C-alpha cells in the first residue's frame, strides 16, 4: 500500500440532519434534558424530529452493513461525543463494548467519500522519525557543557 494507491470505497454513507441549536451548540435533546420549560417552537420540534430520524437512519444503515461489519477487524468511528451513542444504540450490530471500535484520532471535515478516503490514507500510513539515541552519560555531559557556556555568556 502507498499513499498514491487508488482506494475503492465499498461502503460509505453520509447522513446530515438539522439537530443542533444554531449559534448555541448542543442538541435539542440536551436542551430539553436540562429541565425547565419544554420548548415547543417550530424549530425545536423540527430538531427533535430530525434527531429521531437520524437515529433511525444510522441504525438502518448499520443493520444493512451487518455482514460487512462482522468481518471487520477494526471499525473506525468519527462522531461528535454527543452523537457517539447513536452508533451503539439498542439493536445496533456494534455493541458498546466492541473492542474493534476505535475513534478517528484526526480532525475530520464534512463526511464525504473523498474525506473518508483521506482519513483512510492517514490511518493506513506511517511516518518514520529518526531519533538519535545518546547514552545517559552523553546527555549529562552535554547538559554540563551547556550550563558552562550559559555561565560564561553572562
> Strand 101-103 and strand 75-77: pairing?
parallel
Would the CA dihedral through 4, 122, 125, 131 be positive or negative? Answer: positive
What is the signed CA dihedral for 103, 105, 106, 107, rounded to 10 degrees? 60
Q: Tell the residue number behind the cell numbers 545518546, with chain if given.
A: 134
Angle subtended at Cα 39 by Cα 38 and Cα 41, rounded to the nearest 5 degrees: 150
**Residues marked as catalytic:** 28
Can you tell me the distance from the alpha carbon of 141 to that of 132, in angstroms, rounded to the nearest whole number? 16
Amino acid at each position: 500500500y502507498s499513499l498514491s494507491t487508488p482506494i475503492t470505497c465499498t461502503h460509505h454513507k453520509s447522513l446530515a440532519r438539522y439537530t443542533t441549536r444554531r449559534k448555541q451548540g448542543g442538541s435539542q435533546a440536551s436542551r430539553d434534558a436540562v429541565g425547565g420549560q419544554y420548548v415547543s417552537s417550530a424549530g425545536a420540534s423540527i430538531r427533535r424530529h430530525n434527531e429521531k430520524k437520524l437515529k433511525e437512519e444510522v441504525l438502518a444503515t448499520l443493520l444493512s452493513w451487518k455482514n460487512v461489519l462482522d468481518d471487520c477487524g477494526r471499525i473506525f468511528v468519527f462522531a461528535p461525543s454527543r452523537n457517539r451513542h447513536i452508533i451503539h444504540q439498542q439493536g445496533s450490530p456494534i455493541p458498546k463494548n466492541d473492542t474493534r471500535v476505535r475513534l478517528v484520532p484526526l480532525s475530520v471535515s464534512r463526511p464525504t467519500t473523498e474525506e473518508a478516503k483521506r482519513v483512510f490514507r492517514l490511518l493506513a500510513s506511517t511516518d518514520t522519525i529518526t531519533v538519535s539515541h545518546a547514552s545517559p552519560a552523553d546527555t549529562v555531559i552535554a547538559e554540563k557543557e551547556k550550563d558552562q557556556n550559559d555561565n560564561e555568556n553572562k
